[in-house]
Amino acid sequence: MTEYQTILVERRGRVGIITLNRPKALNALNSELMNEVVGVVKEFDVDDAIGAIVITGSEKAFAAGADIKEMSTKTYAEVANQQFFGAWDELARTRTPIVAAVTGYALGGGCELAMLCDFIIAGDNAVFGQPEINLGVIPGIGGSQRLTRAVGKAKAMDMILTGRNMKVEEAERAGLVSRVFPKEEALAKAIEIAEVIASKSLIASALAKEAVNRAFESGLTEGVRAERGLFYSTFATDDQTEGMAAFVEKRDPIFTHR
Ligand code: CAA
């Protein structure tokens, strides 16, 4: 069993759960935590026994941002030469779906980590924001790009330039959050949702995720062309044969992720 300093890791059936666990710092994302989260996500991602991943924090804070104490004395040369925050980009390359279960503060890097996941399930006390401007910096883990794509230019500019927070009602209205539950239930609901995802063909869910991400990253014609190719490739899988045979035979499919 690997020992972790900043996270808790659990396998529940086909769902891998990562809980950020630096309660005294409201789960501020330091380098150790980044490396632990990214390392576990990469392990889960190549494990057939895991069909979905949940990343969560505590009821008070999903994560209150990158660790300001760790960053405060860094110079330009250090952050640039060390490619500071660079490892987080790995999360965007995973094939396995990742659900963020957010309660409490998701600020700065915390909001960015939630947005690096495939979608966000929130508790009714969730608060989102990109307050970096108050520290004399700007978002550095993709926030200026993913928030703008999620909520549009007007709200993204408003939040990133003023540093104001967005409560969960506004975040849901704006499309940042997919579903909201009472804060005590949000994690359990996110795990239930991840279990639904994990019950499908892992190959199909990875291709579906890739297709939706094309909508995020490319134009319509290119995206539709990519989708068609990904759709065709599902016909090379045992899970397509099984899924369609099960429908015709009026039974539940047994996916083998092949
Ligand atoms: N980094 C380091 N430590 C942090 C932290 C952070 N981002 N956020 C909170 N903490 C620490 C506090 O320093 C405090 O530690 P001490 O007890 O040792 O003083 C502890 O967590 C509890 O925090 P507070 O006492 O401030 O708790 P609160 O309930 O009064 O306030 C809060 C909560 C409003 C979230 C407040 O902690 C806060 O504003 N945090 C910073 C939010 C922020 O600016 N995030 C952006 C960081 S920059 C970034 O993320 C860059 C990027 O693009 C990636």
Q: What whole-number distance in Å separates Cα of residue 210 and Cα of residue 237?
A: 16
Q: Give tens-digit pLDDT for 94-132.
A: 999 999 999 999 999 999 999 999 999 999 999 999 999
Q: Give tens-digit pLDDT for 170-199.
A: 999 999 999 999 999 999 999 999 999 999
The answer on pLDDT for 1 being more than 90 is: no
Q: Is the pTM of this model over 0.95?
A: yes
User: Residue type at 59?
Assistant: E
Is 66 in the active site? yes
CA of 5 to the centre of ligand 1 (A): 19
Is 172 in the active site? no
Q: Give tens-digit pLDDT for 150-173.
A: 999 999 999 999 999 999 999 999
Spell out the domains of the chain, with CATH numbers in brackets: 7-199 (3.90.226.10), 202-249 (1.10.12.10)
Complex ipTM value: 0.98
The answer on pLDDT for 65 being more than 90 is: yes
User: What percent of the chain clears pLDDT 70, i.e. is strictly above it?
Assistant: 100
Within 6 A (CB) of ligand 1 lie 25-26, 28, 64-69, 105, 107-109, 112, 131-132, 135, 139-141, 143
Strands (E), the chain: 7-12, 15-20, 52-56, 61-63, 98-102, 105-107, 119-123, 127-129, 165-167, 179-181
